[in-house]
Structure 1
Amino acid sequence: MQFLKNLRGLLVLPLVALLAGCNAVVMNPSGDVAAQQRDLIIISTVLMLLIIVPVIFLTLWFAWRYRKSNAAAEAEYSPDWDHSTQLELIIWAAPLLIIIALGALTWISTHKLDPYRPLDRIDAQRPIPADVKPLVVEVVALDWKWLFLYPEQGIATINEVAAPVDRPIQFKITASSVMNSFYIPALAGQIYAMPGMETKLHAVINKPGNFEGFSANYSGAGFSGMRFRFHGLGHDDFEAWVQKAKGSGVALSRDDYLKLEQPSERNPVQHYATVADGLYEAILNRCVEANRMCMREMMAIDMEGGQGKPGTFNVATLDAATRERLGITDAPVKNYVGAMCTVDNPTGAVSAAPVTTQRM
């Protein structure tokens, strides 16, 4: 029997070792924004425990004090007792005060830690100098890899991003197809990447190091390998990293991007020395192809009342080049029938012959 007890203890030891080896990066971050989020978690947990711990203690204490075998005078049985003003005040006042504290904390932190809000400090002791401009990094979530564009430096990378220590970073984030979530636990909280939309994240890294980033939103078969490295570097080291990317001699053109956009898994780190002008804006507006109308242009036309049946046909039609790129050259053409009504036709009757077009 003693042998079995010792065996159980030995079996538990590896589990304890695994738990002890966890890298709790969320609770030990290297960026000021993530540190503030950690503090918020700690404060909220402490406020919660102010209720939970006394309740657990009193539950055990009452069960022991008023057990059947306890005949002590202080454990008097009072079946007709039903009210205590003092207890009511404690029971209701304590949770009410904690809710007020949590509400105030949530209100302040929600605005202060808004990812769209530019930073006002480098850390708790240092405000951001007036002459410091944030490093702009344009992020594109692809299937299943990350593309990072540096408009100021004129470079791009795959599955690797870097930033100088103590310099504010402004991430502009979008996606090529499905929704993903951009997350570097050591730097800041996660924020979603969506096609045709731009989200933003402001952050700063305060310690040099090599940190992990990944997608925190399931996006298909290659999701598990959709990881990248984030490097916090000194100023000189960051400049050397930029020069290394420029020394690759590889250009990222629009045609190269269209090839890169195709699904692939576990892509190695890759650097691009130059980037096609306006590539990020074209990705965001879903018009990288030369024959595709940009979303911003479509919206501008819609604001002016639309473009009629001929424009609808032009926008909806998939030409041969686009069909080939999407791999649907031999697929049957899918059609829909659209009918246009004039403004002075309130009954909704068709005012012109239907137009048959291809669906995008």
Structure 2
Amino acid sequence: MNQQKTINWGIIGVGNVTEVKSGPAFYKINNSKLVAVMRRSEDKVKDYALRHRVPKWYTDGSALINDPDVDAVYIATPPDTHASYAIEALKAGKPVYVEKPMARNFNECLEMIQTAEQVKLPIWVAYYRRALPAFLKVKELLENEQIGKPYAVNVKLYKEAEERNQKPDEMHWHVFPEISGGGHFFDLASHQFDYLDFIFGTITTVFGQAVNRAGLYPAEDTVSASWKHESGVLGSGSWCFAADKNSVEDSIQIIGEKGEICLSCFSHGEVLLKNKDGAKKLNFNNPEHISQNLVEQVVNELLGSGRCVSTGKSAARTSWVLDEIVKSYYAEKKKE
């Protein structure tokens, strides 16, 4: 593949996430073209193809995968089909870039990685914070010892429940574990844990508890956890997806021997540094298409001119952490 001057992409699952966050990146990046898209709804996929000027559209994923004009496949479906589509694409000789979380669970991730190794092709995952300015700046501040040795990290994410006024058939697939693997925790905390893996290294031990307090849907809605990174940094976190509006919070606090760094995971534009020089706010601008920096790394790796920092193996580590935290909750659910 590194002999090619352009990578021709196909996207499976052109839903909302591909409208602005990711899809346009595939045809705006140098040496990258979006040549085919797939969605089960014929009307919706035709509309997407027309608006984004994509020459081919399909309602069947296998047809897109086996299109000889498609060099690589981006899988942007819900997690319940990530593994099956990724494995099919890899066996068809196509490198894969897949949405996060990588799959519904760690075991599915391992199947995807095993297939990639067997066919000697790469698989990447859309944990794009690894390539965004604010998050890279925090990594740089840590490496430059701006707060000395990092000791601990505290994560908080509290959100209101949109589901309070919804019927089950109106709720998003994120709250149905058979599709998503877990609840909003899997969708959102996966970004946080992947980033912490990026800056502090692999999480080696983790303990967690998950419950459903509001009773709005089958998945967990309140979670707490503690963990340890291979670097020695200790972590703690709490998540609630049925909080009062006055309790809404999104923060990552890194405590060091000579100061602290605070940032948001989901507004990802401002970093607060506190050290011997006082408190300083740093502001950053993100690309118009939030995944673009990471997608560009993928394209460059395919062309032999770089490496992507978010791999199947790094993403699978995050899926293992998520599984460990909620496993007692789902073990109890099975007994009911």
Bucket of the pairwise TM-score, normalised by the shorter protein? under 0.3
TM-score (norm 1): 0.22
Which of the pair has the greater relative contact order for Cα pairs under 8 Å at 6+ separation?
2
Higher gyration radius (CA):
1
